[in-house]
Chains A and B, each alone.
Chain A
């Protein structure tokens, strides 16, 4: 289990944030455990047989397509990732494409795939794809974006000079962590689109489910009062339960 956890690559932080799903669910939706030793028996070690190498692509880990791409029989070549340090590309960022056909053009990041150091830039680095081709139908040609590597493929745009620039994470005097462009020392703010998830565009725009969700006002209401009681004592008192019996002496060993 220890080696498994060490070798198994984790899903990126931004992917978890974008999915708006609990991390435990993402893990259980993509992992493939073929055999697990029963728990609670001294004769069985805590080990399992599971797939360790996953191919992360534009398909998100909790989807069906991901599962199909990582079927048990499929073995892929290892992908080498250049270390990027702290991640500094977010959805909605203005970037300049540094390679390929669209070299020198600027666009907006529409998707971030942290597991592969990729970003997808809207309308840049595209190719044509034929969809729905049959015997008597020629299919529809659509333009689809290919991902770009954040290390070499794109650079963030300086808000002052509108030129591509390197960035660095620094702290402001208020203690906020910000991205600073190295060419003009201007702060590059993190765009509003970065907090977009599969469920909502921004946190304020989330529509509550009236039957399932707790309303925000009820969730943020402070009802705690400090008392010199344990949880159990407090509940017993509020329910009018009286307990005067003294338990027999016992020993812990």
Chain B
């Protein structure tokens, strides 16, 4: 119930903000303009490109991405504005990168894309935190999309993300029931697959174990005076005493004992 309310609200916010920004609601707009610094207003396609003086630059140095702690001290309206600033910046960077590739030029400082993306991810995290806190306080649930642990067709455990439907489960004849209810899970084919899958996992584990053991042997051969505690800390699953006794670990030198 709450999820659907939340979703509808979201949908309406998008629709109404679009309307209010473009047509009337003068009071809202003036309030906004008071608080934001806008360097230049173009409202044409050139906003997808960088400023003209940056076109021939080889190095455009910028700071780092917004950190989570810096975003946590910002109000919701600030985060909302910052999101659109970042979105515009990201669009601009993608356009500039594409244009540079077209013109066979070097795109200066491509790490800016990663910085903007990281900031946007952090904003999403902070907003999610705030919403989860609200919903937990009010309803006792997180308000996130519900996830269930299920066993899939191949007999493997999987996270199933639930979906929203108008009809309840028993009335919805078009909804395909989970494979578990069909009884595939106990079939011969699934059992065979699962056996082979487990064998594969076991082989991977065995190979990793052997690889580590051989690596430690080689390390012992090359660095006989190595700090054994540090070696043990880095390779906790390797029997170092056994590796020391092996032939591969003895280098081309006389043993000290």
> Which residues does A use to contact B, with CB under 8 Å?
3, 6, 20-22, 24-25, 28-29, 80, 82-85, 151, 199, 206, 208-209, 211-214, 219-225, 228-236, 238-241, 243, 245-253
Contact = CB atoms under 8 A, between A and B. Distances in A.
Interface stretch (B58-66, B94-102, B244-252): B58-66
Nearest to B165: A251
Interface of B: 1, 3-10, 12-13, 16-17, 20, 25, 27-28, 39, 51, 60-66, 70, 72-80, 110-111, 113-115, 117-118, 127, 130-131, 134-135, 137-138, 143, 146, 162-169, 175, 204, 208, 215, 218-219, 222-223, 226-227, 229-231, 233-234
**Which 8 pairs between the two chains have the least Cβ-Cβ distance?**
A25-B111, A22-B114, A25-B114, A234-B76, A223-B75, A250-B4, A247-B8, A85-B230
Given A83-B230, A252-B163, 13 more contacts: A22-B114, A25-B115, A211-B51, A213-B62, A228-B137, A230-B134, A235-B17, A241-B12, A241-B17, A247-B8, A248-B166, A252-B164, A253-B169
A25 B169 CA distance: 45
Contact of A224 (B28, B72, B114, B165): B72
Nearest to B113: A25
B78 A223 contact: yes
B114 A240 contact: no
A173 B20 CA distance: 58
A239 B17 contact: yes
30 contacts: A22-B111, A22-B115, A25-B110, A25-B111, A25-B113, A80-B219, A82-B219, A83-B219, A83-B233, A83-B234, A85-B230, A151-B226, A211-B51, A212-B63, A220-B70, A220-B73, A223-B74, A224-B72, A228-B134, A230-B131, A230-B135, A230-B143, A232-B10, A238-B77, A239-B17, A240-B28, A247-B5, A248-B4, A251-B165, A252-B164
B200 to A, nearest CB: 11
Q: Taking each of A208, A222, A234, A239, which has the highest tally of chain B beta carbons within 10 Å of its own beta carbon?
A: A239
Contacts, number: 158
Please report whether the interface of chain A is mostly helix, strand, loop or mixed according to DSSP. loop
A234 B9 CA distance: 12
Contacts of B78: 223
Q: Taking each of B10, B63, B175, which has the highest tally of chain A beta carbons within 10 Å of its own beta carbon?
A: B63
A85 B74 CA distance: 39
A250 B164 contact: yes
A209 B77 contact: no
A146 B72 CA distance: 46
A224 B169 contact: no
A222 B118 CA distance: 21
Contacts of B204: 3
Nearest to A213: B63
Contacts of B75: 223-225
B165 A232 contact: no
Contacts of B223: 80, 82, 151
